Structure 1
């Protein structure tokens, strides 16, 4: 009986240690991408208007390699953060923008387009905003070398000049070790 009492905690510890290997077998890291969007001065007022799709050469493959894995081992990708910053014209803020949605797809055909992030009420008098990430699983998009972003905007006011915006995304990646 004493042997059984001694062995029970040992067996529980071994079972927990065995399950920890599965947890420890996964890598978690970030993939950061950045690109430029342009809201043209000819954008209409009214409903959400799509802008020209922007192809993104993703840094994911290099990030996978630097973390000792590859796209084949990616298990889970989600958007952690998407920040927009006005870079031109100087002094411009987001007062012209009422609402924004950004979609992701594998290419410009948008057959597999999913909402990446959005902001329904853009704050006034700021030149940097953070969008609300969707809860989409994004493995398909970061396994490749590139993806396409399509932005839809709803303006408050007409623009007198083009507005250039830098979009910075941070993706959370979970991958197995090879």
Structure 2
């Protein structure tokens, strides 16, 4: 009897020792995606660029299962980070862009802005970390597939096509214990 009371007391103490934030972390994880787009060479300055990725399979069901949750327990999904990297040409850099905007879309849902960068400096190099909007994109990633669209404008000419990898990390927060 004394052993049972001691175990019960230790259990209660353990529950109070772990904060809600610690328990919350057990149902939080990240989903990563990488897609590519190509900006064609241009001799005209100031033209708007509007590029879309092919449909991206969300694979959310398998990702949720791998994290011991399901789509009906997802509370929120938000873009945590997005990086654009020029992969071709090797010496490519983003100095030709004036600004960029990334949007997400999915079947039956309105397109929503998820990341942006304004006033790209000339010495930016071949990689850009975008500012994220923090909008909840749960409905988009619960679909079987989604698409990203990049809208930007140029302030310099480019003589070669530029291939850009779009690396996205989405933060997922699921309900605790199905509650």
1:145, CA displacement in angstroms?
2.3
Give ranges in structure 2 of 5+ residues lacking alignment. Answer: 1-11
Partner residue of 2:86?
A: 86
1:78-120 Cα offsets, whole Å, 9 max, x none, are 111000110011111111111000000114x8x5100010000
Structure 1 unaligned spans of 5+: 1-12
The answer to whether the 8 A contact 2:58-2:142 is kept is no
Q: CA RMSD in A?
A: 2.8
Aligned residues: 163
Equivalent position of 1:174 in the other structure: 173
CA distance in 1, matches of 2:169, 2:53: 19
Could you tell me which residue of structure 2 aligns to residue 3 of structure 1? none
Cross-structure match for 2:127: 128
SS at match of 2:27: strand
Segments ≥4 residues shifted beyond 6 Å: 20-23
TM-aligned CA deviation for residue 138 of structure 1: 0.8
The residue number in structure 1 matching 2:57 is 57
Partner Cα separation in structure 1 for residue 28 and residue 140 of structure 2: 17
Q: Tell me the equivalent position of 2:116.
A: 118
Residue 45 to residue 55, structure 1, CA distance change in 2 (3 Å): farther
Tell me how far apart the structure 2 counterparts of residues 30 and 44 of structure 1 sit (CA, whole Å). 40
Cα drift, residue 158 of structure 1: 2.0
Indicate if the aligned counterparts of 1:98 and 1:121 stay in contact, CA closer than 8 A.
Answer: yes
Q: How far does residue 134 in structure 1 lie from its aligned partner after superposition?
A: 0.6
Q: Hey, what does 2:141 align to over in structure 1?
A: 142
* Partner Cα separation in structure 1 for residue 20 and residue 131 of structure 2: 34
